[in-house]
Structure 1
Amino acid sequence: MNVVFDFGGVVFRWQPHEFMARLLPHHATGEAAVAALVTEFFQGYSGDWAEFDRGMVDEARLAQRIAWRTGIALPDVQKIIDAVPFELQPVEPMVRLMERLREGGHRLFFLSNMPAPYAQHLETTHEFMRWFEGGVFSSRVQLVKPEPAIFHEAVRRFGAAPNELLFIDDFALNVKAARALGWQAVHCLSAQQVEADLAARGLL
């Protein structure tokens, strides 16, 4: 099987509510304030942040846009942007699961909405990145999930038919988009849940 992993929220920890509250405590005066801060800053990964994912704006321009749009001081915005790659720490149970799949003869790929500087950080920081036979970072193809075009590009690059690809993503819209294009897909809620799903499919 060709198993395709999303990165943020699947292979790498993604907890913006936690790290934004920690890094900007003066904006995090309670759970509701933190939730509003995350929503306003990332815009549900649309808007400014989607353009960053798409590789259409750089970090400096993104910081200016977010500061202008939200009223958050530019140094605080930059602090979050700079911190993100270091907050993307491996989810160790998922890394062990990937290793089991690889040892079992399955091919590993990735399909990730990821800005260019963060993609480079992940590639140069984590040894297990060499386990992937190929992958698609959104910023390098100027396409983002859940757009169908990025899935078509992944099919072309991975050299497999859609029904031969099993996609694992934590964002339900991305899972829905993959299934609509004929991919197999698993909605990731935890490493343990994904492991159970793959075992039920006979992959472990």
Structure 2
Amino acid sequence: MRTIETVLFDLGGVLVDWDPRHLYRKIFKDDAEMERFLTEICHPHWNFLHDKGALRFAKSIPDLQHRYPEYHDQIAAWMERWPEMMKGSIDRTVHILEELKSRGNVRLFALTNWSADTWPHAIERFGFLSHFEGILVSGQEKLAKPDPQIFDLTAARFKLDPRETLFIDDSEKNIQQAREMGFVTHWFRDPIRLRRDLMEYGLL
């Protein structure tokens, strides 16, 4: 088993419980209509383009409102009430991060697909982000996982050796790309399995 010198965390789905449904269940009375809205209007690829830095909400929100005037207020809520999409932290994973920090035997970084527009909300809300030596935010770099360039940038900026870096992410595509680039990987499903893996590497 490889020696791990660095743990590289994803944030959304691993340390932060983010889901637009946390907000839109409050807005839509009908779940089927909500799902249509999140599939066809404010859809995952549209959100990804913000994470990638290819769109900014100041322009994209009015553009969508022009195309779908019947959903004017619901589209506006994506930015106006965005913090409500963050239900909170995934506490058991945060506890693992805190244990790693207290042990001090590995370097800790984060690599997240997150829009530049909404990143300040995360900084304001989650104190555990201070545990990281560095955080690379896709929207600020105009690159997003699983693009190989963002992994190269992360390794270069933080001086990481992929062969000694455990990358934790809840996206299978991101994990596959990282593995192809030589990173040690953990496809996150739940904190229990993550803890087991970290124990096997001797980190907990």
TM-score, with normalisation over the residues of structure 1?
0.87
Question: Secondary structure, in 3 states, of the residue corresponding to 1:117?
Answer: coil
Which is further off, 74-83 or 165-174? 74-83
Aligned to 1:91: 90
Matches within 5 A, 1:12-23: 12-23=16-27
Q: Which amino acid aligns with 1:90?
A: S
Alpha-carbon spacing, 1:177–1:56, altered in 2? closer, same or farther (3 Å): same
Question: Is the CA contact 1:23–1:80 (under 8 Å) kept in the aligned structure 2?
Answer: no
Runs of at least 5 residues in structure 1 that lack an aligned partner in the other structure: none
Question: Which whole-Å CA distance do the structure 2 matches of 1:18 and 1:125 have between them?
Answer: 16
Offset of residue 107 of structure 1: 1.4
Runs of 4+ in 1 over 6 A off after TM superposition: none
Matches within 5 A, 1:18-167: 18-25=22-29, 28-30=30-32, 33-44=33-44, 46=45, 48-68=46-66, 73-88=71-86, 89-105=88-104, 106-167=106-167
Runs of at least 5 residues in structure 2 that lack an aligned partner in the other structure: none
Question: Is the CA contact 2:21–2:85 (under 8 Å) kept in the aligned structure 1?
Answer: no
Matches within 5 A, 1:173-188: 173-188=173-188
CA RMSD of aligned residues (A): 2.0
Number of aligned residues: 198
Offset of residue 73 of structure 1: 1.5
Q: Which amino acid aligns with 1:190?
A: D
Q: Which amino acid aligns with 1:36?
A: R
Relative contact order, higher structure (CA 8 A, sep 6+): 2
Counting aligned pairs with the same residue, the percent is 28
Question: Is the CA contact 1:40–1:70 (under 8 Å) kept in the aligned structure 2?
Answer: no
Question: Which whole-Å CA distance do the structure 1 matches of 2:69 and 2:189 have between them?
Answer: 33
